[in-house]
Structure 1
Amino acid sequence: MKRRLPPLYSLRAFEAAARLGGFSKASEELHVTPAAITHQIKKLEAELGVELFVRHHRGVALNKAGTDYLNIVNKLLDDLTRQTQHFKSKHRSQPIRIAGLHIVCNRVLLPAIQTFLVDYPEIRAELIADIKLPEFRSGNVDIIIRHGEAPPEGYETQLILEENLTPVCSPAFAASHLEGLQAKDLSGMPALYDLYWQADWQDWLQAAGLPDLENSLGFSLYSMVIESAVEGTGIAMGHTGLIRKELESGALIKPFELEIPSRNRYYAVTTREILRKQGVRVFWDWLSENVAQA
């Protein structure tokens, strides 16, 4: 059975005129002429077979039938608005959610995502930074950047960053040692380190043939390690992939020549199922291509 529905534009004109109390105000809101509003209202009244407004020399006002019909139209438009929003949230592309350690998000992911969004402005992305990585079973993340010696098994992975380890400090800290910084004196200097990356100092000291540290200060965030080193608090173990900005600006320097490859690398990790999601595959392929170019 064919539905006999009043024209939607006539309903919009009627609702605006009733809410605003006049055809002229409705025309301003809908960006049409008052004559167009009058035409749509007359068209609606003809379709319904009843007048909805009382016309007088100072304007118009809803009559009893108009008030009753306005209640119907308001319910219809409110429900249409709610259902449309529900439909959009269900079917439109969801943002890509990418998670990583706080420092990795800030120094590695953020610049990459900003460049990606320039290339693909229609795709939305959300960056989740924390000191503890979420798990895929939470259902709230699409890609995780993991830091480890090898990628986890059973996942789709790609290597995105390798780096070297070497001690770094501020120029002022280096200048405070009048006889110059000597690697053999490290055990007596304030050594800064990340609580989760304590093995980095051990690896470097072993490669340099030096004893373990005696004077050290640990932080739960590598960003705090960097900040303390820049302020001259001590000498920090530098991850060359994370401190490029400070090295290029001269805020941090490398007092020793020895650099060793870090045993850990940065891997982008996801699942085959997640890669089917709209936008995730686009970012995954883009990431692979741009990392290869770098």
Structure 2
Amino acid sequence: MATRLPPVHALSAFEAAARLSSFAIAADELCITPSALSHRIRLLEEFVGERLFIRDGRAVTLSEFGRRYLDVVRFALRALSDFPLPHKSVAAQPRVKVTVPPTFARYLLMPHLASFAERHPDIVVEVCLSVPLYDLSLSESDVEVRFGAGKYPDMVTEKLLEEPAFPVASPAYLEKIGGIASLADLRKATLLRSALEAWQPWFEAAGLDWPEPNDTLRVDDLGLLLEAIKHGHGVGLTRQHFARQMIERGEVVQLFDIRLTAPAHAYYVVYEEAARARPEVACFIAWLLETFRGLA
């Protein structure tokens, strides 16, 4: 049976936090966010089955077990760092870990990411996915793009992109229900739902005093919602850069000229202040803002 070993990144987080008596300062030394460091400490505590620190508000002190375990960890880390590596002379390549919603990644980030690579070929970008409105922790990411209301306490938050919302449907679905020529015709349509794109604000923009639909298909991913619309499940709300290609190919059709110009949700760049001190992270944030704030 293979021997389970504690993760090295958790050991280094534990050693730094113990030496500096501060999660925040240790996180800064390791160039990660405080929440990421806390995650690593919890991971190690789960591995050893003991509490390593006693937490009292912002202050942290080693537990009795933590003091004994620290000696072992320091010995192991010292052995690793002191081992001679005659061929190691190249500095570590700078990396940026970014977490983004799936639809933003598919329709916006990936089509533009090559321009960042051309400007900064020395920086490695690692892209992870998160679910909007549900994953509200930066985890171990350096920077995150979030789709929401923009209220993220204790985080630096900058609006990245806001697009008008409008309804679309597939030609096949419109034919199936006999077409939609007026707002009143929406009553015979199935209005697809999403927590990310509520109908109520658009109803108000259209002058309709209608309640939010509550008994139709709900899809809490904007890309999947658009796929559901394309495949004829009903009428749904979307945004320009998501639906552009499908509209151009005739797979979906925009209904009416009414657009909700200031939807409740928009895309925001979210990060902890300390993360921007790293040049590669600052470069990536600047590129995001430049690229997507001016998107036509």
Using the size of structure 2 for normalisation, the TM-score is 0.62
Unaligned runs of 5+ in 1: 1-78
**Aligned equivalents of 2:257, 2:136: Cα separation in 1:** 37
Cα gap change, 1:291 to 1:251, in 2 (>3 Å):
same
3-state SS of 2:285 partner: helix
In the alignment, what sits opposite 2:47?
none
In the alignment, what sits opposite 2:155?
155
**Aligned equivalents of 2:264, 2:191: Cα separation in 1:** 20
**Aligned equivalents of 2:260, 2:294: Cα separation in 1:** 23
More divergent stretch after superposition (165-174 vs 281-290):
281-290
In the alignment, what sits opposite 2:210?
211
Cα gap change, 1:179 to 1:105, in 2 (>3 Å):
closer
**Aligned equivalents of 1:142, 1:171: Cα separation in 2:** 43
> By how many angstroms is 1:171 displaced?
1.8
Q: Give a deviation string over 1:126-154, Cα, whole Å, max 9, x none.
A: 11113243523x3x101111222335344
**Aligned equivalents of 1:191, 1:101: Cα separation in 2:** 23
Q: Give a deviation string over 1:228-264, Cα, whole Å, max 9, x none.
A: 1111121111133432222233221112221112122
> By how many angstroms is 1:269 displaced?
1.2
Cα gap change, 1:95 to 1:179, in 2 (>3 Å):
closer
Q: 2:117, 2:123 within 8 Å by CA — same for their partners in 1?
A: yes
Letter in 1 for 2:193: Y
Cα gap change, 1:220 to 1:265, in 2 (>3 Å):
closer
Q: 1:187, 1:214 within 8 Å by CA — same for their partners in 2?
A: no
Please state if 1:273 is matched with 2:271. Answer: no
Q: Give a deviation string over 1:212-235, Cα, whole Å, max 9, x none.
A: 336521023222211111111211
More divergent stretch after superposition (151-160 vs 247-256):
151-160
Cα gap change, 1:272 to 1:133, in 2 (>3 Å):
same
**Aligned equivalents of 2:293, 2:222: Cα separation in 1:** 26
> By how many angstroms is 1:124 displaced?
0.6
Alignment of 1:277-292 (within 5 A): 277-292=278-293
> By how many angstroms is 1:108 displaced?
2.3
**Aligned equivalents of 1:129, 1:214: Cα separation in 2:** 28
**Aligned equivalents of 2:226, 2:292: Cα separation in 1:** 25
Q: 2:180, 2:186 within 8 Å by CA — same for their partners in 1?
A: no
Please state if 1:222 is matched with 2:222. Answer: yes
3-state SS of 1:113 partner: helix
> By how many angstroms is 1:162 displaced?
0.6
3-state SS of 1:243 partner: helix
3-state SS of 1:192 partner: coil
Alignment of 1:1-150 (within 5 A): 91-131=91-131, 132-133=134-135, 135-136=137-138, 138=139, 140-150=140-150
Cα gap change, 1:109 to 1:173, in 2 (>3 Å):
same
**Aligned equivalents of 1:160, 1:225: Cα separation in 2:** 22
Q: 1:158, 1:269 within 8 Å by CA — same for their partners in 2?
A: yes
Alignment length (residue pairs)? 208
> By how many angstroms is 1:84 displaced?
5.0
Cα gap change, 1:292 to 1:217, in 2 (>3 Å):
closer
Q: 2:93, 2:122 within 8 Å by CA — same for their partners in 1?
A: no
Cα gap change, 1:291 to 1:102, in 2 (>3 Å):
closer
In the alignment, what sits opposite 1:202?
200
3-state SS of 1:193 partner: coil
Please state if 1:186 is matched with 2:186. Answer: yes
Letter in 1 for 2:125: A
The structure that has the greater radius of gyration is: 1
Q: 1:93, 1:279 within 8 Å by CA — same for their partners in 2?
A: no
**Aligned equivalents of 1:291, 1:107: Cα separation in 2:** 12
- The root-mean-square deviation of aligned C-alpha atoms, in Å, is 2.5
In the alignment, what sits opposite 1:264?
265
3-state SS of 1:232 partner: coil
3-state SS of 1:226 partner: helix
Unaligned runs of 5+ in 2: 1-82
Pick the structure with more helix per residue.
1
In the alignment, what sits opposite 1:248?
248
**Aligned equivalents of 2:160, 2:281: Cα separation in 1:** 16
Cα gap change, 1:107 to 1:210, in 2 (>3 Å):
same
Cα gap change, 1:239 to 1:282, in 2 (>3 Å):
same
Runs ≥4 in structure 1, deviation > 6 angstroms?
A: none
> By how many angstroms is 1:179 displaced?
5.2
